[in-house]
Structure 1
Amino acid sequence: MSAQDGESPRHPPLAMWVWRTADLLSAQRETERFLATIGPLHLSDLYLYLTPENYRIHDTALRALIARLKTQGTRVWGMDGWRGYFHDGDGPSGLMAALDSLIAFNARHPDAGFAGFHSDLEPQDGQGAGRSLFHNGLSASQLTPAQRADRDRLMADWVALHDTLHQRTEEAGLAYGAALPSWLDDYYGEPVTMRVEGDRRSVLGQILARVDEAVIMAYSTRPARTAARLHGELTFARSLPQPPRILFGVETHAGPRPAVSYADLPSKASRKTVLSDIAAIAAELAPVGPLSGAVIHDWQGWKTLPP
């Protein structure tokens, strides 16, 4: 299939999330459809959501899928994420169990193992788990002392989770990546900060120093707006001695709203348009910093989007 048919060559590098991985692994027909559809995209990376049990239940199918993806140059990551993994919710035991299961899978299948572990941990309130400690809609200067203490405690927990995951993946010879909201450098006009050793420091900086790659969820159907949301992350990454890979996300899942998802905007509801906009965003950001590619959210949305 050519670029005119709705696919593109591997410029910029392209990745994809898969949330309903168990469905994909449970039916050979769905697996083949998936591989046929993503083949022309030449994906650089694939993030598969898997529970601790999935690594065992779907062991054979998962090994076969990873082996086939590796032959076409796609790195596969295990993925997990939930607001409840913070300590004010259920805690991170389930998240660590998923990582343990991935490491055990790699030990069983060194020839077809995962390249890394990817987290999607979002701290904002209103996700149905955890306490309301972020205080949505308030910039740092608008917080009361009690609210500031709440947010500081939550941000410290968030950074600590990334620190633990980075250490554990590094010990296992794996890469560690994280999906991050795009507003950390500009939340209602101010950066999100936390107290570190008596000073206030950027949460974005704390996290970027603890990941091998960061996917910025700058979802917008307007390329200029997506690019604008990446400036802070790219500029900050450029200042680091060892900058992580920085990628940006595009939304193709129906439901969020036309300003956010290509599936919800009829004039842009096609794979060809998504890929064209990705190329435009990458071109605009090229002078800013070390952009490493784009990520499609997600397979469920992409497969229903017209070519």
Structure 2
Amino acid sequence: MHALLLLCAISVLDHTVRSAPAPSPRSTTAHGLIRGMWVWNSVSILQSPTQMNDLIVGATAANITDLYFYMAPSSYATFTNQLQTFISQASRARLRVWGLDGARTYLADAQGPRLFYQGINNLIAYNSHSSPSQRFYGFQADIEPQDSHADSQNLTAFHNSIPDSQLSTTAKSGVWQNTASQDREQLMRNWLSIHESARNMLHAASLRFGAAMPFWTSTYYGEEIRVSYPDNTSPRQCVMKYMMHYVDEYVIMSYNTDPVNAAGRVETQAAYASTLPVGSMPNVFAAVEVTTGVGIYISYGDTPGKASKQVVAADMRNITAALTKYPAFAGVGLHMWQAWQALPA
């Protein structure tokens, strides 16, 4: 699912800013795994004690450990009291709550990341005025450069469906930069820069940073999406290998209703992350989709014989079994609460 829609100091916006110390490594479940769930209908939940309770009860029943709770940049101030009530209740149920935001328009070829950074600053300000049991645990970004809705918004700098080797290097072939190849190169650099800056902001506040990530960065039409970051003097490599250094949680949207395929979409990333030193190794996750209208074989909600909580839970166990050999693997995420709530048992 694609994302919905205090200015930062200039030094924070600069991707060359020095990294703040990372928060302490997070605890896991008794089985050593984490299970996150995306929650997009946050406004209606915050306005309804019944919906708050339903979410907490339903998440607990599904063995969820972490809630990725969508927050528009202005919502931290608008819903301060409701957030404090909700997060307190979630904390008592041993659920960790993350802020969540992202949009294709946060990239530099559109509106840029100002509002995205503002939201992070607002989360940090909210936490500073809340008791420990009322605070967000971290923040997750969901900024997808290939967003399928982007083309209709004339945001075509990624050049969907074209592998790196086939991007034009002819002058004036670009829609944002001079060439199509430069379009993607600069978009990938901006994508990385935004995540690096967000990581620095959150770590400075002792908060964790995660990101929802596409599965195909190393297999885009048979090729890696490669980039030199931060500039041409840097090694050219898969964008995923750079991104791993800027997140604490790398949550892969590996959506496929065949658990073998879903696990396969995580193997390259989990294997690479597992080669990194323990202090800089991110948690890597798979994820399943249950929302209807997404597509057969992509979503459990659309796939005959798969649309039940029991089947989803069994396949999540199979995905887990296939990936636990990788030290960086940390669990399976579930997209999303409203769809899960409606899914038959």
TM-score, length-scaled by structure 1: 0.93
**What pairs up with 1:106-117 in 2 under 5 angstroms?**
106-111=127-132, 112-117=134-139
* Cα distance in 2 for residues equivalent to 1:66 and 1:27: 14
**What pairs up with 1:87-236 in 2 under 5 angstroms?**
87-111=108-132, 112-124=134-146, 126-128=148-150, 129=153, 131-145=155-169, 146-196=179-229, 197-236=233-272
SS in 1 for 2:99: strand
Cα deviation for residue 290 of structure 1 reads: 2.1
Aligned identity (percent) is 33
Aligned residue among 84, 90, 115 for 2:105: 84
Task: Please name the residue that 1:59 is paired with.
Answer: 80
SS in 1 for 2:161: coil
Comparing 121-130 with 264-273, greater Cα deviation is found at 121-130
Runs of 4+ that moved beyond 6 A: none
Task: Please name the residue that 1:285 is paired with.
Answer: 323
* Cα distance in 2 for residues equivalent to 1:304 and 1:54: 26
Give the direction of change, closer, same or farther, for the CA distance of 1:130–1:164 in structure 2 (3 Å limit).
farther
Task: Please name the residue that 1:256 is paired with.
Answer: 294
Cα deviation for residue 89 of structure 1 reads: 0.6
Give the direction of change, closer, same or farther, for the CA distance of 1:162–1:34 in structure 2 (3 Å limit).
same
Structure with the largest fraction of helix: 1
Give the direction of change, closer, same or farther, for the CA distance of 1:125–1:114 in structure 2 (3 Å limit).
closer
* Cα distance in 1 for residues equivalent to 2:40 and 2:92: 22
Cα deviation for residue 62 of structure 1 reads: 1.0
Q: Letter of the aligned partner of 1:96 in structure 2?
A: Y
Cα deviation for residue 125 of structure 1 reads: 5.3
Task: Please name the residue that 2:6 is paired with.
Answer: none
Task: Please name the residue that 2:13 is paired with.
Answer: none
Equivalent pair of 2:56/2:93 in contact (CA under 8 Å): no
Task: Please name the residue that 1:268 is paired with.
Answer: 306
Cα deviation for residue 289 of structure 1 reads: 4.3
* Cα distance in 1 for residues equivalent to 2:308 and 2:197: 39
Residues 131-179 of structure 1: per-residue CA shift (max 9 Å, x gap): 3111111111111212211110100000000010001001111101000
Cα deviation for residue 127 of structure 1 reads: 2.3
* Cα distance in 2 for residues equivalent to 1:306 and 1:180: 28
| 1:41 matches 2:54 | no
SS in 2 for 1:262: coil
Q: Letter of the aligned partner of 1:221 in structure 2?
A: T
Task: Please name the residue that 1:246 is paired with.
Answer: 284
* Cα distance in 2 for residues equivalent to 1:28 and 1:132: 42
Cα deviation for residue 265 of structure 1 reads: 1.4
* Cα distance in 2 for residues equivalent to 1:65 and 1:263: 28
* Cα distance in 1 for residues equivalent to 2:310 and 2:30: 14
Residues 162-200 of structure 1: per-residue CA shift (max 9 Å, x gap): 010001001111101000000011111111101232531
* Cα distance in 2 for residues equivalent to 1:89 and 1:160: 15
* Cα distance in 2 for residues equivalent to 1:177 and 1:133: 24
* Cα distance in 2 for residues equivalent to 1:189 and 1:212: 28
Q: Letter of the aligned partner of 2:94 in structure 1?
A: G
* Cα distance in 1 for residues equivalent to 2:77 and 2:182: 41
Cα deviation for residue 278 of structure 1 reads: 0.3
Give the direction of change, closer, same or farther, for the CA distance of 1:138–1:280 in structure 2 (3 Å limit).
same
| 1:70 matches 2:91 | yes
Q: Letter of the aligned partner of 2:247 in structure 1?
A: V
Cα deviation for residue 254 of structure 1 reads: 0.6
Cα deviation for residue 201 of structure 1 reads: 1.6
* Cα distance in 2 for residues equivalent to 1:15 and 1:124: 23
- Kindly tell me the number of residue pairs found equivalent between the two proteins: 299
Equivalent pair of 1:247/1:291 in contact (CA under 8 Å): yes
Give the direction of change, closer, same or farther, for the CA distance of 1:212–1:183 in structure 2 (3 Å limit).
same
Q: Letter of the aligned partner of 1:51 in structure 2?
A: A
Cα deviation for residue 124 of structure 1 reads: 1.0
Cα deviation for residue 298 of structure 1 reads: 0.5
* Cα distance in 2 for residues equivalent to 1:130 and 1:20: 27
* Cα distance in 2 for residues equivalent to 1:133 and 1:13: 35
Q: Letter of the aligned partner of 1:119 in structure 2?
A: A
